[in-house]
Structure 1
Amino acid sequence: MPRPKGAVTLATVASNAGVSIATVSKVLNGRSDVSSATRARVQDLLAQHGYVGRRPETVVRESVELFYQGAVNNYSVEIIQGVVVAGQAAGIDVVLNAHPRHESSATDRASRWIRELIAGGRRAAIGITSELTDADLAALARARLPLVVIDPANIPEPDVTSVGSTNFAGGMAATQHLLDLGHRRIAYLGGQPTSGCNQARLSGFRSAMEAAGASVPKNYIWQRDFLYDDGVAGGTVLLDLPDRPTAIFAGSDEVALGVMEAARARGLRIPEDLSVVGFDDTQVARLASPPLTTVKQPLREMGAVALRTALRLAAGETVDSHHVELATTLIIRGSAAAIACE
Structure 2
Amino acid sequence: MADASGQRATIAAIARAAKVSPATVSKVWNGRSDVSEATRQRVEALLREHDYRARATRAPASAGVIDVVFPELDCDWEGEHIRGIEAVGRAAGVRTVVSSLERGGAAQRQLVSRLRAGRTDGVILAGVTGAGPLVAVLRRMGVPVVGLEPARSAAPDLPAVDAANWAGARIATRHLLGLGHRRIAVITGVDQLLCSRARLDGFFAAHDEFGVSPDPGLIERGDFDFPSGVAAGGRLLDRPDPPTAVFACSDHMALGVYEAARRRRVPIPGRLSVVGFDDLPAARWAAPPLTTVLQPLRAMGRLAAETILALAGAGPAPGRSRLDTELVVRSSTASR
TM-score normalised by length of structure 1? 0.77
Q: Distance in 2 between matches of 1:83 and 1:151?
A: 14
Of 204, 210, 213 in structure 1, the residue corresponding to residue 211 of structure 2 is: 213
Match for residue 329 of structure 2? Answer: 332
In structure 1, the partner of 2:87 is 85
Amino acid at match of 2:98: L
Q: Report the CA distance between 1:119 and its aligned residue.
A: 2.2
| Corresponding letter in the other structure for 1:97 | S
Q: Is the 8 A contact 1:101 1:131 kept in 2?
A: no
Give the stretch that moved more between structures: 299-308 or 217-226: 217-226
In 2, Cα distance between the equivalents of 1:335 and 1:231? 16
Larger Rg: 1
Match of 1:232 in 2: 230
Q: How does 1:155-170 map to 2 (within 5 A)?
A: 155-170=153-168
Please give the alpha-carbon distance, in whole angstroms, between the structure 2 residues aligned to 1:290 and 1:237: 22
Q: Deviations over 1:230-253 (max 9, x none)?
A: 100000111111111100001011
Name the CA distance, whole Å, in 2 between partners of 1:163 and 1:137.
Answer: 15
Paired letter, 2:74? V
1:138 Cα deviation after fit: 1.7
Q: CA deviation digits over 1:79-98, x for unaligned, max 9?
A: 11000011101111111111
Report the CA distance between 1:153 and its aligned residue. 4.0
Partners of 2:141 and 2:110 lie apart in 1 by 12
The correspondence of residues 115-130 of structure 1 with structure 2, limited to 5 A, is 115-130=113-128
Give the 5 Å matches for 1:258-273: 258-273=256-271
Q: Give the C-alpha shift of residue 131 in structure 1.
A: 3.2
Structure 1 position 69, deviation (Å):
1.5
- Aligned counterpart, 1:181: 179
CA contact (8 A) 1:132 1:154 kept: no
Range 123-132 or range 179-188, more displaced: 123-132
Residue number in structure 2 paired with 1:43:
none
AA at the equivalent of 1:140: L
How far 1:137 moved relative to its partner? 1.7
* CA contact 1:188–1:221 (8 Å) conserved in 2: yes
Counterpart amino acid of residue 94 in structure 1? T
1:96 paired residue number: 98
Q: Provide, for residues 157-198 of structure 1, a one-character-per-residue CA deviation record: whole Å limited to 9, x for no partner.
A: 101111111000000010000011000100110212221001
RMSD: 1.7
Contact 1:270 1:290 survives alignment (8 Å): yes
Query: Where do residues 128-143 of structure 1 align in structure 2 (5 Å cutoff)?
Result: 128-143=126-141
C-alpha contact 1:110 1:139 (8 A) present in aligned 2: no
Correspondence 1:33-48 to 2 at 5 A: none
Measured at CA, do residues 274 and 293 of structure 1 come closer, stay the same or move farther in structure 2, by a change above 3 Å? Answer: same
Letter of the 1:82 partner, please give it.
G
Q: 1-side partners of 2:108 and 2:253: how far apart?
A: 32
1:196 maps to amino acid: L
The answer to whether the 8 A contact 1:232-1:261 is kept is yes
* Of 63-72 and 148-157, the range deviating more from structure 2: 148-157
Q: Equivalent of 2:302, from 301, 304, 307?
A: 304
Q: After TM superposition, give the deviation of residue 149 of structure 1 in Å.
A: 1.6
Q: Is the 8 A contact 1:148 1:162 kept in 2?
A: yes
Q: Which runs of 4+ in 1 moved over 6 A?
A: none
| Alpha-carbon spacing, 1:101–1:170, altered in 2? closer, same or farther (3 Å) | farther
Kept in 1, the 8 Å contact 2:146–2:158? The answer is yes
Contact 2:63–2:121 (CA under 8 A) maintained in structure 1: no
CA drift at 1:61: 5.7
For the structure 1 residues 128 and 134, does the alpha-carbon distance in structure 2 shift closer, same or farther, using more than 3 Å as the test?
closer
- Segments of structure 1 that go 5 or more residues without pairing to the other structure are 1-59
Rounded Cα–Cα distance in structure 1 between residues aligned with 2:312 and 2:285: 39
What is the identity percentage for the equivalent residue pairs of Structure 1 and Structure 2? 41
Q: Which among 173, 189, 199 is matched to residue 191 of structure 1?
A: 189
- 2:233 is aligned with what amino acid? G
Alignment check: 8 A CA contact 2:150 2:160 kept: yes
